[in-house]
């Protein structure tokens, strides 16, 4: 299925630019990732399909490439479309789009998913609210995210990392899976002590981005390790 029809850019008569050939931003890629995660939660996509489409979205450079992962999902307005279709009888309401202000919960989720310490230590544990997309941008800091008692809004959580001389520790339940293969490492280390896939449990962390002179560790809680040793 083709993307939206070309639109005029207003530069003058006959000046036409293909909307599907326009370059996309990181914010648009991030938003498409959220829509794909919602599609998984609604049963429209399997986790395998989500992983494939997420790879395509992260590599997309144009709106046509980015929209290709959304075209068969009902109720989703493609990136660059000028208006939001109104739901009819028996049709689902459109999912939120970048820039929509009438649907505050989505913008609140994205805003609450930013972790940006500087020469500090940040720990999130207990029943903290986990956004579908977490952005970790730390400098000379240590960040620990404990998902064992967290309140999840989606089965798949995307973690975008941009760290410098920092450590990121992910503590997950026993059934969870973590994908660290998409990280770009510069003088850094990765230690995955949990299952890396396929994403069949209640939680799957998809981690990507850049780590410079730091470390990323995924592990289970301390007591889970000892229970496993004693066969409990």
pLDDT at residue 110 in the model: 33
Q: Are 20 and 62 in contact (CB under 8 A)?
A: yes
| Sequence-ordered alpha helix ranges (H) in the chain | 26-41, 47-59, 63-67, 104-112, 222-229
- The count of residues in the chain is 232
CA distance 195 to 47: 15
Which carries the bigger pLDDT value, residue 224 or residue 162? 162
Domain boundaries, the chain: 1-103, 113-232
pLDDT at residue 4 in the model: 37
Most confident of 41-55, 82-96, 169-183: 169-183
pLDDT tens per residue across span 31-80 = 888 788 778 777 788 877 888 888 888 888 998 888 888 888 876 666 66
pTM of the complete model: 0.55
pLDDT tens per residue across span 118-167 = 999 999 999 999 989 999 999 999 999 999 999 988 889 999 999 999 99
Measured at the CA of 97, the angle between CA 107 and CA 208, to 5 degrees, comes to 70
The bridge status of strand 7-8 relative to strand 16-17 is: antiparallel
pLDDT at residue 213 in the model: 93
């Amino acid at each position: 299925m083709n993307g939206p029809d070309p639109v005029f850019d207003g530069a003058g008569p006959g000046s036409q630019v293909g909307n599907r050939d326009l370059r996309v931003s990181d914010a648009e890629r991030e938003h498409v990732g959220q829509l794909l995660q919602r599609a998984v939660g609604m049963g429209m996509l399997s986790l395998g399909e989500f992983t494939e489409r997420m790879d395509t979205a992260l590599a997309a450079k144009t709106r046509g490439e980015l929209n290709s992962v959304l075209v068969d999902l009902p109720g989703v307005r493609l990136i660059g479309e000028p208006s939001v279709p109104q739901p009819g009888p028996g049709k689902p309401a459109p999912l939120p789009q970048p820039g929509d202000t009438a649907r505050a919960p989505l913008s609140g989720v994205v805003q609450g998913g930013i972790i940006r310490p500087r020469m500090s230590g940040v720990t999130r544990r207990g029943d903290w609210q986990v956004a579908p997309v977490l952005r970790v941008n730390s400098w000379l800091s240590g960040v620990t995210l404990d998902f064992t008692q967290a309140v999840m809004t989606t089965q798949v959580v995307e973690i975008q990392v941009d760290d410098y001389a920092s450590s990121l520790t992910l503590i997950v339940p026993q059934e969870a899976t973590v994908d660290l293969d998409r990280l770009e490492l510069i003088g850094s280390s990765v230690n995955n002590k949990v299952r890396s896939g396929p994403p069949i449990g209640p939680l799957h962390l998809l981690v990507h981005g850049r780590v410079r002179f730091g470390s990323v560790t995924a592990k289970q809680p301390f007591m889970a390790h000892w229970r496993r040793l004693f066969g409990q």
